Structure 1
Amino acid sequence: MSKTIFITGASRGFGKLWAEAFLKRGDKVAATARNTDALNDLVATYGDAILPIQLDVNSRAESFAAINKAKEHFGGLDVVINNAGYGLFGTIEETSEEEARSQIETNVFGLLWVTQAALPIFREQKHGHIIQVSSILGIATLPLLGMYNASKFAVEGLSETLSQEVKQFGINISLIEPNGFATDWAGASAAQTQPLEVYSDVRSAFNEANSAEGVFGDPDATAAAVLKLVDAENPPLRLFLGKHALPWAKNVYEERIASWEEWNDVATAAHGI
């Protein structure tokens, strides 16, 4: 049975790739972008099956209007994918107030506005699936991506909480957590802070680690996984994409648990009773 999908950030990268994967198999797609001209090729190929919607997710009013437009146009919604977002590269010290606020506004509040807009529709229908595009960097961290890490940690906490609140209404929540993929996320889509020379060694180490062969996955290979997630009767709360994510997460949690256990006597004494 075909589904109706609403996906943000569909002008490039994962968003456009997944939108086309849905369209190819016969789903209907409301695809949002700041510039909908980037969707002209999909409209030419798939016609009425795709509804391009101009959207800046930073606007709560626009987000609600876009969700409602898609619902009215197609008669309902089955899946909402919050994919819009970008990476800010730079150390914490280098990050300006404007850069920090912009990163959180888009990656966290933009996702929140679209999520809030979808929930009343899904509650009324008694079904729906919200998929949040997070990252392995919502579980682990890398230097030079502090504000991006922070935004994805926020998305993880928000979405896990939401899953507990809305399960009773037949609404599923999933977090997609990719490791690095060869999209333009770190290129044209990214923002950069003004670098400080004192962090040149950190930058060099970061660039060297990310130039190694096999670090980045093939974006095209993710489409099949996303289709399976959308079609799952009982979708998971979390889904990694890529072969590096799970080993990395295991290592991070082993280190955390070891540290917590080492300091558990102090923690227990702090309870007081």
Structure 2
Amino acid sequence: MKTWFITGTSKGFGRVWAEAALERGDQVVATARNLDSIADLAERYPDTALTVTLDVTDRDAVLAAVAQAKDRFGRIDIAINNAGFGVFGTVEEVSDAQARAQMDTNVFGALSVTQAVLPIMREQGAGHIIQVSSVGGVHAFPNLGIYHASKWALEGFSQSLAAEVAGFGIKVTLVEPGGYGTDWGTASAVHADPNPAYQPLRDAMAARRGSTPQGDPVATGPVILQLVDMDQPPLRFFLGKGLAQMIRAEYDNRLTEWDTHAELSQQA
């Protein structure tokens, strides 16, 4: 039996993964900003589910929630930083407040949870931290620059983290989903005030999204269970179809560009 600590479990991936873990008999600390949205988990699994109100941008609340999890179940085997959202807007359009809120949740929220669970996992000599990144953590599209910045930051500190904690028996995995039928791009999204100059770009991106099939979030539950059961889980893990081909092309373009200008680079 494993004990999970998951942020953002009111819907989407967090909800699916919490239910998958509980259904197989694991213990889950499910957190969300609105406790009513996850109250049914505690009702259905009174012995193995602990529901906690949590806004990950409140560091003191994060520390208290992790302490509550330790008090209830004695350990934390898996911590999943799933809470997050996307800001839609070009770099010129996004407000300072929107950019800072994006970083506060997607980067600093994940950092607070990570720092809170690490002493427990070091004491245990084991643990698995799963950072929910995105295919947008290794690629970037127009109209999502600040969101990409948050995920690239998450990828960077998590790769360093993996090297820092390997000697303590702690694993780190960046889960990089593609497009799924969650409300990430709808109800949960934040939109910058539009500048008409960028409307053709927005129209093109909307058409592209509309023609791309969306994955079923429920199908990810069994996959995540297999991932957390691995003895040697990967640092990076694509979640969804067609992502490896997309990113392989992106990295081929990067290598070509670097090689093209290699002679000039080495003159410095």
| TM bin (shorter chain) | over 0.9
- Does 1:234 find its partner at 2:201? no
- Does 1:222 find its partner at 2:220? yes
Residue of structure 1 in register with 2:28 after alignment: 29
Residue of structure 1 in register with 2:251 after alignment: 253
SS at match of 2:80: strand
Hey, what's the Cα distance between the residues in 2 that align with 1:48 and 1:91? 47
Task: In structure 2, give the amino acid aligned to 1:238.
Answer: R
Hey, what's the Cα distance between the residues in 1 that align with 2:258 and 2:63? 42
- Does 1:211 find its partner at 2:210? yes
Task: In structure 2, give the amino acid aligned to 1:212.
Answer: S
Residue of structure 1 in register with 2:158 after alignment: 159
User: 1:9-48, aligned counterparts within 5 Å?
Assistant: 9-48=8-47
User: 1:66-215, aligned counterparts within 5 Å?
Assistant: 66-214=65-213
SS at match of 2:130: strand
Structure 1 position 44, deviation (Å): 2.0
Structure 1 position 15, deviation (Å): 0.4
Structure 1 position 266, deviation (Å): 1.2
Q: Structure 1 264/30 Cα, relative in aligned 2: closer, same or farther at 3 Å?
A: same
Hey, what's the Cα distance between the residues in 2 that align with 1:120 and 1:178? 28
Structure 1 position 213, deviation (Å): 4.7
SS at match of 2:141: coil
Structure 1 position 25, deviation (Å): 0.3
Identical columns (%): 50
Structure 1 position 99, deviation (Å): 0.4
Hey, what's the Cα distance between the residues in 1 that align with 2:257 and 2:122? 42
Unaligned runs of 5+ in 2: none
User: 1:43-58, aligned counterparts within 5 Å?
Assistant: 43-58=42-57
Length, aligned pairs only:
268
SS at match of 2:266: helix
Unaligned runs of 5+ in 1: none
Question: What's the TM-score, normalizing by structure 2?
Answer: 0.99
Task: In structure 2, give the amino acid aligned to 1:240.
Answer: F
Structure 1 position 42, deviation (Å): 1.6
Runs of 4+ in 1 over 2 A off after TM superposition: none
Structure 1 position 180, deviation (Å): 0.8
SS at match of 1:210: helix
Hey, what's the Cα distance between the residues in 1 that align with 2:166 and 2:211? 42
Q: Does structure 1 conserve the Cα–Cα contact (< 8 Å) formed by 2:56 and 2:112? A: yes
Structure 1 position 153, deviation (Å): 0.3
